[in-house]
Amino acid sequence: MWPNLPLFPERASTLAGRVDALYFFLIAVALFFTTLIAVLILVFSIRYRKQRQLKAKQIEGSLALELTWTLIPLSIAMVMFVWGSAVFFYQARPPRGAMEIYAIGKQWMWKFQHVEGQREINELHIPVGRDVKMIMTSQDVIHSFFVPAFRVKADVLPSRYTSTWFRATTPGTYHLFCAEYCGTQHSGMIGRIVVMEPSAYEAWLGGGGTEGSLSATGQKLFQELGCATCHRSDTQGRGPNLVGAFGKPVILEDGRTVVADETYVRESILNPGAKVVSGFKPIMPTFEGQVSEEGLVSLVAYIKSLSQTQQGTQKQNEPAAPVPAGK
């Protein structure tokens, strides 16, 4: 009836070891102080129980002691802060050249799209030893992408893209949970992360028919929606030239600068008037209601590919900058 009783989660990413090390440090500190307080209370209350100590000795307090137990915990807390932030920095910055996978959360399932074109629901296949960057959005409420074995969690919000990354270290199957309460079937919004050996992953990618890569789907949609009539690859278009635009700063009409990231591209498709590029008229119609979240993802991937062709596509498949393994 009770299959197993795990007390500690599996460790399957380069991040996991770092988080666990910090966790053990904090446990050590917590144990030390809990024990200290418990022992002091026990010793004092027994040593000075009323039967032995009939009259209490009044003590005013001690500045030296107060400073001690303010400053020592403070310095320990600062160690925790710096260490915790270091782990977070590692976790919050996807390495350059990570392979990208798009995720869409909706009540109550996860949809994944590989740039190679594969689509999956509630199941995500990834290769071991590669940096994987998740680019995620939600179709409705806030969800949260949570893989305990990777120690990775990121909220998935509507109308914007959030991202997280991981590099799996051990092949296997791991839980994927939605961690942000999202309605009736919240606890049913779970899935599996299947980490495969690179060769098995290549085989998996090759198997099963797909309609071509994600950016190709996006390109088709780009043509169908007539985007290309204005966003031409020369300087004659009524809209900005999108080649090489992704990831670069854009100067807006009101003088502000924004980076043309996934969220900006998405917003510009659905609500073009919000941030108009300097030098262009706000004439673009909205595509709200005409493009699904999947379609938007493919458009984003396509526009992104327009910038990557210039820098060379191979970069995507190169191994990432060396990252010290967690284990």
Partner 1 sequence: MATTVQPVEQQNYLNSNYGIKSWLLTTDHKRIGLLYLMSITLFFFLGGFFAMLIRLELLTPASDLMQSDNYNKVFTMHGIIMVFLFLIPSIPAVLGNFLVPLMVGAKDLAFPKINLASWYLFMLGGVVALYGMVTGGVDTGWTFYTPFSTTYSNTNVVTVAIGVFITGFSSIFTGLNIMVTVHRMRAPGMTWGRLPLFIWSHYATSVIMVLGTPVIAITLLLVALERLFHIGIFNSQLGGDPLLFQHLFWFYSHPAVYIMILPSMAVISEIVACYSRKRIFGYNFVALASVAIAVFGFLVWAHHMFVAGISVYAAMIFSLLSFLVAIPSAVKVFNWTATLYKGSVHFDTPMLYAFGFIGLFTIGGLTGLFLASIGIDVHVHDTYFVVAHFHYIMVGGAVMGYLGGLHFWWPKISGRLYPEGWAKLSALLIFVGFNVTFFPQFLLGYLGMPRRYAAYPEEFQVLNVLSTAGASILAVGYVLPMIYFVWSLRYGKIAGPNPWNAAGLEWRTSSPPPTYNFEETPIVTWEAYNYDEISEEKGVEVAG
Partner 2 sequence: MEQQRETAAFGMWLFLVTEIMFFGGMFCAYLVYRVSYFDAFVAGSQKMNITLGALNTAVLICSSVTMVLGVHAAKTNRRRATVLFLLLTIMLGLVFLGIKAVEYHEHWIAGEFPGPNFHFDGPDPRHTQLFFSLYFAMTGLHALHMIIGICVVGTIAYFAWKGHYSSEFHTPVEITGLYWHFVDVVWIYLFPLLYLISHKH
Question: What are the residues binding partner 2 (CB under 8 A)?
Answer: 253-254, 256, 271, 273-274, 276, 282
Secondary structure of 153-188 in HEC code, one letter for each residue: EEEECECCCEEEEEEECCCEEEEEEECCCCCCCHHH
Neighbours of 74 (CB within 10 A): 9
Largest CA distance in the chain: 96
Phi, psi (deg, nearest 5) at residue 135 = -115, 115
d(CA 162, CA 69): 41
Using CB distances below 5 to 8 A depending on partner kind, what does residue 254 bind out of partner 1, partner 2, none? partner 2
H-helix or E-strand spanning residue 125: strand 123-127
Residue whose structure tokens are 């005013």: 60
Q: Shortest Cβ distance from residue 292 to partner 1 (Å)? A: 14
Contact range with partner 1 by CB under 8 A, out of 21-29, 111-119, 121-129, 296-304 = 21-29
Of 180, 135, 195, 199, nearest in space to 13 by CA: 195
Q: Which residue, 60 or 234, has its beta carbon nearer to partner 1?
A: 60
Q: Shortest Cβ distance from residue 254 to partner 2 (Å)? A: 6
Q: Shortest Cβ distance from residue 289 to partner 2 (Å)? A: 13
List 17, 95, 129, 158, residue binding partner 1 (CB under 8 A): 158
Q: Which residue, 41 or 251, has its beta carbon nearer to partner 1?
A: 41
* Terminal Cα-to-Cα distance of the chain (whole angstroms): 33
Sign of the C-alpha dihedral computed for residues 293, 249, 220 and 119 taken in this order: negative
Check binding of 65 to partner 1 (CB under 8 A). yes
Check binding of 323 to partner 1 (CB under 8 A). no
Using CB distances below 5 to 8 A depending on partner kind, what does residue 64 bind out of partner 2, partner 1, none? none
Q: Shortest Cβ distance from residue 256 to partner 2 (Å)? A: 8
CA distances from 59 to 39, 44, 56, 298 (A): 21, 14, 9, 72
Q: Which residue, 60 or 254, has its beta carbon nearer to partner 2?
A: 254
Using CB distances below 5 to 8 A depending on partner kind, what does residue 33 bind out of partner 2, partner 1, none? partner 1
Using CB distances below 5 to 8 A depending on partner kind, what does residue 65 bind out of partner 1, partner 2, none? partner 1
Using CB distances below 5 to 8 A depending on partner kind, what does residue 235 bind out of partner 2, partner 1, none? none
Q: Is the peptide bond before 2 cis (omega within 30 degrees of 0)?
A: no
Tell which positions 195-254 bind partner 1, by CB under 8 A.
none
Contact range with partner 1 by CB under 8 A, out of 145-153, 224-232, 290-298, 318-326 = 145-153
Q: Shortest Cβ distance from residue 319 to partner 1 (Å)? A: 25
d(CA 190, CA 186): 8
Contact range with partner 1 by CB under 8 A, out of 186-194, 213-221, 279-287, 300-308 = 186-194
